[in-house]
Amino acid sequence: MNRNRCLVYIIIILSLICVNTPIFALIIDVPADRPTIQSGIDAAKDGDTVLVADGIYRGEGNVNIDFKGKQITVKSLSGAKATIIDCEEEAETRGFTFHNKETNDSILDGFTIRNGVHVLGGGIYCNNASPTIKNCVITKNRSVAPDLEGRGGGGIYCFNSDAIIIACKIIDNSANSGHGGGVLFTGSTTQNKSQPSLINCTISKNDGDGIFCYDNVNPVIKNCTVSENNGRGIAYNRFTRGNNPITDCLITQNRGSGIECRFYSYMNITDSIITRNKAEFGGGIYCDGSSIIDVSDCIIAQNIATKSGGGIYIHSKWGHAEITHCTITRNTANAEGGGVYAFIDFSSFNLSNSIVWGNNTKGDHAEFAGVGRNITIKSCDIQGGLEGIGHEPDGNWFTYVNNIDADPLFVDADRGDYRLKENSPAAAMGAQSSSIRKALSVTAIGKRLVKWAELKHR
């Protein structure tokens, strides 16, 4: 009797567990089982996989593809090189649309998406949806939105989205607005802050910003290369609250500043290399008067400002800037502040445990140009010391404590290796993280980097 009762209990428990669980997840092959990707999705149920064979997919059913809110995986058989969504530059045509509250369990894996043309999100569009997008190549797509902030996203556009974008290449896309030629993340002040993610991605050669974050978003940007974009590398604008640090990134050769922070935004950057970017102000990093920026364990080198602040430009009225354990070297500015330019009003600027050495300017104060109040330089190696800065500490508006003026002894600065030799007098200063040191040891070997003499003659 007891044995039968136990058996009944086991059956009831197993039944309850399985009520909402798909027992058999199907694999739907395209085009073997269904002729188009969309028809495969239409036939799928939560938990299923739509497996797409190698080939180039065009036309109705293979563009403007809609997941329809399903928690499914749409995956290529052999990866992005072999499986291509070609939008053929048709107006109002993109690769994929997510607008039915898809979650991270809606997965797009392993496609090339090219030649899309749409107002927002030429390649992929997410609106109040948060898919996982991985192993994709998103290229030659266009956003044709007018020049309005928060409008664009040539490669990917996400609005109120916690999308996770992993190991993707977002290359050679464009936005008419210039905002987010590669990626645009935007939110809404009426909803909770969204948290989209870019992890292990390459965002390169886009016409416009590489990554543009606008209006109440809190992005995750990690282990990414942001390079050769015809605009800013990464831009935060309008209440973007970057509580998650930009970390382990290479930001290089962008033509509108490597990093920009504007309009009541907060940006935290750590363990990153910011090099060979160019802008009018702040070739490496630009921060406006209302924003807050926190930079630590970064190399900021070989950036160019056609006016002021080759490495860093801070024009802060109400915000705050904290720069610690950074190496700021071989940057140049035509006007002043080849390394750092800081104009501080009612806010504060703190530079600590950092190296500012070997920067260049055609104007005054090659290493550091400081104007205003509440400027503190502490425990740093500053070439030229106070004489180069041109100010005397007053204990109130300008504080200068425990600094040195000694060659930091870089391993091989001419080849871009800014690690310090064992006998460096600045051993406790500059970028300290092991990931930065490892990256420098790799980039300095086997690759031709711009020599400082070449940079000065450009």
Most distant pair of Cα atoms in the chain: their distance: 96
Determine the pLDDT at residue 180: 87
Cα distance between residue 153 and residue 177, in whole Å: 9
Rounded CA-CA distance 458/456 in Å is 6
> Is-above-0.85 flag for pTM?
yes
What does residue 457 show for φ and ψ, rounded to 5 degrees?
Answer: -95, 0
Q: How many CA atoms lie within 13 A of 43 on its CB side?
A: 18
Selected residue with higher pLDDT from 316 and 432? 432
Spell out the alpha helix ranges (H) of 370-432: 385-389
Instruction: With a cut of 60, say whether residue 409 has pLDDT above it.
Output: yes
CB 300 within 8 A of CB 306: no
The 10 Å CB-count burial string (b at 16+, else e) for 128-162 is bbbbbbbbbbbbbbbbbbeeebbbbbbbbbbbbbb
Side-by-side strand order, sheet with 183-186? 65-66, 96-98, 124-127, 156-159, 183-186, 211-214, 234-237, 259-262, 285-287, 312-316, 340-344, 368-372
Paired tokens of 338: 């080849």
pLDDT reading at 404 higher than 50: yes
Domains of the chain, with CATH numbers? Answer: 25-244 (2.160.20.10), 279-458 (no CATH)
**C-alpha–C-alpha distance, residues 129 and 157, integer Å:** 11
Distance CA 270, CA 93 (A): 38
Query: Which among 9-18, 203-212, 342-351, 431-440 has the top mean pLDDT?
Result: 203-212
**Element spanning 292, H or E:** strand 292-296
Torsion of CA 104, 107, 109, 112, to 10 degrees: -90
The confidence score (pLDDT) of residue 216 equals: 87
Q: Please report which confidence band the pLDDT of residue 191 belongs to, taking 50, 70 and 90 as the band edges.
A: low
The reported pLDDT for the residue numbered 351 is: 97
Confidence of residue 14 (pLDDT cuts 50, 70, 90): very low
Contacts of 138 (CB under 8 A, 6+ apart): 95, 112, 113, 114, 123, 124, 155, 156, 168, 169, 170, 171, 173
And the tokens for 80? 């992005």
Q: Residue 14: which H helix or E strand, with range?
A: helix 2-18
User: Residue 454: pLDDT band by 50, 70, 90 thresholds?
Assistant: very low
**Token pair belonging to 60:** 């109705």
pLDDT band at 371 (very low <50, low <70, confident <90, very high): confident
Task: Flag whether pLDDT at 144 surpasses 70.
Answer: yes
How sure is the predictor about 453, in pLDDT bands with cuts at 50, 70 and 90? Answer: very low
Tell me the pLDDT of the chain averaged across its residues: 89
pLDDT tens digits, one per residue of 284-305: 999 987 899 999 999 999 999 9
The whole-number pLDDT of residue 374 equals 85
